[in-house]
Structure 1
Amino acid sequence: MQEKIQLNHFSLISRLFGNLFYRQPTDNILSGVFTWLQQQQLSEVWPLTEDAESQQALDALQMPIDLTLLEKEYQKLLGEKGAVATQISAYDISVADFENFRQERNLPPSDNLDHFAMLLLTASWLEDNADSLSAQQDLFEQFLLPCAAKFLNKVEQSAGLPFYRALAYLTREILSAMADELESVDL
């Protein structure tokens, strides 16, 4: 039962983090997310053991923040002319292969598959809707981990505010834990 709870939390966290990378902080879709974070709700569902560094990252992600200031940081970092490329193609990931992967597994179509956040959102969808460990393992091995290693490092190095550094750090932590779990499962 504990394993299933952790997997459900992985889906929620992947969806949350995917949307935080994909959407500007002032996007209406995120209106309740920052309130939820400031209520320390992420700490309530965070499935990993917290060391000092991960606790700092959780605190940074959940602290009250001026969304106008965060919007400027988002544009500087992840916007159209931001310091960090959000396109998976910039990290040597084939968008056509990713699209084929999604089509083979009957994922709903998306307008912008050439975005790192779509990898996290795909991981969440597979967790919730596909009864296939091999699909999750393939996503991690072929797309998510190779792209995340490069993308998250650039976000951490380029972020001026703690929010996006913490988001990158925690994303790396949850992906590493899930990858270890997927690797340990016998098919």
Structure 2
Amino acid sequence: MTLSQNHSAGRRRFLCGCAGLVGLSTLSLAGCSRDTDGHQSQAPLEIDPQTSCSLDGMLLADFPGPKGQIHYVQDRQVDWFCDTVELLSSLIAPEQVRAVKAAWVQDMAKADWDRPKGHWIDARQAWYVLGSQRKGSMGPTAASFASEADAKAFASNHGGQVHRYADIKPEMVDLTGGALHDTRM
């Protein structure tokens, strides 16, 4: 091999290596973006038949109503929720100290209520209908929507009150009901 051929082969290897590094960088950033605080935000994942609720182990795909997911800054594992009330309770609880990278709920104006898939929206930008006649996996739920108009239309058809995420208080999504407050037992 001549000096010219050796230099050409070395240069080719160097360029291929650089292209490989650029490709790896691009792949590692797929599904990620920067939020307004400069933190990486995680794209929503999709529910599969084995996805279970982080609070009670229920399989999400087996139940109706909107679902949720929280991605934390310091944790690679996603917390899944079979019901938006559970997600909201976890997300806005005063004792919540884990930094949240992203939180997602489903836009129920687009998702099928009985078998919701996809249509993920930012939980902190969503509109919610609390107190409707529609039930989720845990009974009464917070129907989630991308737009106020869709939330109002849902409330008109199914009852309930429309709230912005910022207006929801911990007592509105309290999970301590059930047997604790059942006086018939």
Greater fraction helix: 1
Larger radius of gyration: 2
Q: TM-score range by the shorter chain?
A: under 0.3
Instruction: Please report the TM-score for the alignment, with normalisation by the length of structure 2.
Output: 0.24
More strand, by proportion: 2
Normalising by structure 1, report the TM-score.
Answer: 0.24
